[in-house]
Amino acid sequence: MESTLFDVSGRVAVVTGGASGIGLGIATALATAGANVVIADLNGDAAQAVAEKLAADTSAETMALAIDVTSTEQAEGLITKTLERFGRLDILVNNAGIGIHCRPEEMTMEQWDLNVSVNLRSVFHLSKLAYEHLRDGGGKIINIGSMYSIFGAGEVPAYAASKGGVVQLTKSLAVAWAEQGIQVNAILPGWINTGLGAQGRREMEGLNERVLARTPAARWGEPEDLAGVAIFLASAASNFITGVSIPVDGGYSVA
């Protein structure tokens, strides 16, 4: 008898920021495991290329949408178009995020608003829009936090505040929607080798050496390192787990 515990085949997943980095790693994992995937990204061309590649490489049906997650209309359009195309929505991965590098005393309110809007406001907005469709059974929301959900960060204060907020929002939505059968959990990636990771290495002097020295696994993570936890949180295997934030960090947060 085959186990269906980790089965996501036929489910429909939306991955924001799915055209690169961690979002691409998670979208690839879900498509490979049999889910149909919507790649929603600011970079529409990259999203289209990813959607075409995943459709060619796996049995998944895919769709690409150019979207800025901070736009109310575009967020609404993402959910509407997903339902038009697939008729259902089962898994929402709130992954799109940016990090504005600026000390707090120099940060403008426009910078603050933008960082919090992309990283936190959009998580609430898309979750709220998805709610009535997810509650129809087996709904999963997976939010992407950060090590800065836990630790302070003088060089990226709005980023850290937004990521701390993602953890609290995850708990709150989990409590609110548990009875509706929706599980809401977060992944807290350690230092992952992506475009954002490279930006961090450029902007924060000595970051590469600090990460390698501080991470017990002694390496940066790769987007593929998020695959297992994403499938776990997207599948029935995690049906009694809600409101938690799981570090995927090579031991960084416990060292």
Closer of 39 and 174 to ligand NDP (Cβ): 39
- Residues 90 and 175: their CA atoms lie apart, in Å, by 18
Q: Which of 131, 148, 159, 252 is catalytic?
A: 159
d(CA 191, CA 147): 8
Shortest Å distance, C-beta 68 to ligand NDP: 4
| Cα-to-chain-centroid distance, residue 107 | 25
Nearer residue to ligand NDP within complex by CB, 98 or 229:
98
Q: Please identify, using beta-carbon distances, which residue of 215 and 235 lies nearer to ligand NDP.
A: 215
Query: Contact between 157 and ligand NDP (CB under 6 A)?
Result: no
Tokens 């990771």 sit at which residue?
197
Q: Which of 68, 203, 222, 224 binds ligand NDP (CB under 6 A)?
A: 68
CA pair distance 64, 42, nearest whole angstrom: 11
Residues 202-221 touching ligand NDP, rule: CB under 6 A, are: none
Q: Does 42 bind ligand NDP (CB under 6 A)?
A: yes
Binding to ligand NDP by residue 252, rule CB under 6 A? Answer: no
What's the full length of the chain, in residues? 255
How far are the Cα atoms of 77, 178, 241 from residue 74, in angstroms, in the given order? 5, 27, 31
DSSP H helices, the chain, are 21-32, 44-57, 72-86, 109-116, 122-134, 157-177, 195-203, 207-214, 227-234
How far is the C-alpha of 111 from the C-alpha of 117, rounded, in Å?
A: 10
Start-end of H helices in 178-216: 195-203, 207-214
**Residue 20 found at the interface with ligand NDP (CB under 6 A):** yes
- Which of the stretches 6-14, 26-34, 37-45, 231-239 binds ligand NDP when contact is defined by CB under 6 A? 37-45
Q: Does the protein bind ligand NDP through residue 170 (CB under 6 A)?
A: no
Q: In angstroms, what is the minimal distance from the CB of 94 to ligand NDP?
A: 8
Distances (CA, A) of 206 to 6, 103, 246: 40, 17, 27
Answer yes or no whether residue 21 interacts with ligand NDP by CB under 6 A.
yes
Can 159 be counted among the known catalytic residues?
yes
Task: Please tell me the count of residues contacting ligand NDP according to CB under 6 A.
Answer: 28
* Stretch 74-113: interaction string toward ligand NDP, x if CB under 6 A: ---------------------xxxx---------------
Binding site for ligand NDP (CB under 6 A): 16-17, 19-23, 41-43, 67-70, 95-98, 118, 144, 146, 189, 191-192, 194-197
- Active-site positions read 159
